[in-house]
Homo-oligomer: A and B are copies of this chain.
Amino acid sequence: MNDQPLTPDGLPAQVVIREVGLRDGLQIIPRTVLTEAKLEWVRDAYAAGERELEVGSFVPARLLPQLADTAEVLAFAKTLPGVVASVLVPNLRGAERAIAEEAHAILVPISASHAHSLANLRKAPQDVVAEIGRIRAARDAAGSRTLLEVGISTAFGCTIQGEVRAADVVDLVAAVLAAGADRVSLADTVGYADPAMVSRLFEQVLRLAGDRLDTAHFHDTRGLGLANCYAALRLGIRRFDACLGGIGGCPHAPGASGNVATEDLAYMLASMGISTGLDFDALLALRGKLARWLEGEPLHGSLWRAGLPKTMREEVAA
């Protein structure tokens, strides 16, 4: 990671915020957003400068009816120049569909917590590792260029099992890389991470995975989302998942904040002189639309209320 440009403070000078609201956000919201609104969301996010979007999930429609139009949203996102559109897939079957639809990337979740894995996927982690191997083989057999990312969920703890040992996470990362993952991300699925844990775990996994660990996924369940992003940034992490309006999050903490809010993370980064390519006015306008589409669902975040500091408004005007 040493060849990447840094700010004078030693932080990555350029960071990608991957918008995961259309998948991670909508996944736990039982309300269906019309496909037309989703396409408007993608179009406006693109106009606001977002270039990486997780657009949905290839799972059976009876499980997540609100994501049943993922193929349509993916097809539309792919028409926008420079977009990287990813799709979550829980298994080979979903991956085959994503490869057939030519998703730019697929994200396969695997839980570092054995208990969470059984509860969520009804599979032990080692069975998911084997499935990742099959997905890699299918991708290669198809001659596909779809990137295979594996997201290590509950990497910082689990509401069922409690503690998740860092050594288990490191072993799991080694296993999924050996099984053929192109890259891995670490996710604080339930909002248990703190900046010291983030520093320790990312350091260990970076030692093993190097550049193949490039994404952090934090929830703001207990208010530490941005502090955790900062801790990961300090280690050179350059891609962060976030949801506009901080939607999503953990179904086990109802009412609590969800994912890190895209607009707040973008503000923290911009304030530190880190380029994200995002436009605040456009982001906040889209947030307003999202509030209407999700009427009744709580949105989160701080920037929408407080606005940019005078110092940054002057910069924008200059």
Task: Name the distance in Å between A116's Cβ and chain B's nearest Cβ.
Answer: 12
Task: Name the distance in Å between A173's Cβ and chain B's nearest Cβ.
Answer: 21
Q: Is A118 an interface residue (CB 8 A)?
A: no
Q: Is A261 an interface residue (CB 8 A)?
A: yes
- Determine whether the beta carbon of B256 is less than 8 Å from that of A305: yes
Q: For residues 212 through 269 of chain A, which have their beta carbon under 8 Å from a beta carbon of chain B?
A: 220-224, 226-227, 229-231, 253, 255-257, 261, 264, 267-268
Task: Name the distance in Å between A313's Cβ and chain B's nearest Cβ.
Answer: 9
Q: Is A36 an interface residue (CB 8 A)?
A: no
Q: Is A199 an interface residue (CB 8 A)?
A: yes
Set of chain B residues within 8 Å of A9, measured between Cβ atoms: 196, 199-200
Contact with B along A262-302 (1 / 0, CB 8 A): 00100110011100000000000000000000000000011
Q: Is A126 an interface residue (CB 8 A)?
A: no
- Determine whether the beta carbon of A223 is less than 8 Å from that of B302: yes
- Determine whether the beta carbon of A223 is less than 8 Å from that of B264: yes
Copies of this protein chain in the complex: 2
Q: Is A163 an interface residue (CB 8 A)?
A: yes
Q: Is A306 an interface residue (CB 8 A)?
A: yes
Docked CA distance A42–B157 (Å): 35
Q: Which of B163, B229, B268, B272 contacts A311 (CB 8 A)?
A: B163
Docked CA distance A223–B242 (Å): 14
Q: Which of B158, B267, B273 contacts A222 (CB 8 A)?
A: B267
Q: Known pairs A157-B311, A194-B271. 12 more at Cβ < 8 A?
A: A9-B196, A9-B200, A157-B309, A162-B310, A162-B314, A195-B227, A222-B267, A223-B264, A227-B268, A255-B305, A257-B302, A257-B306
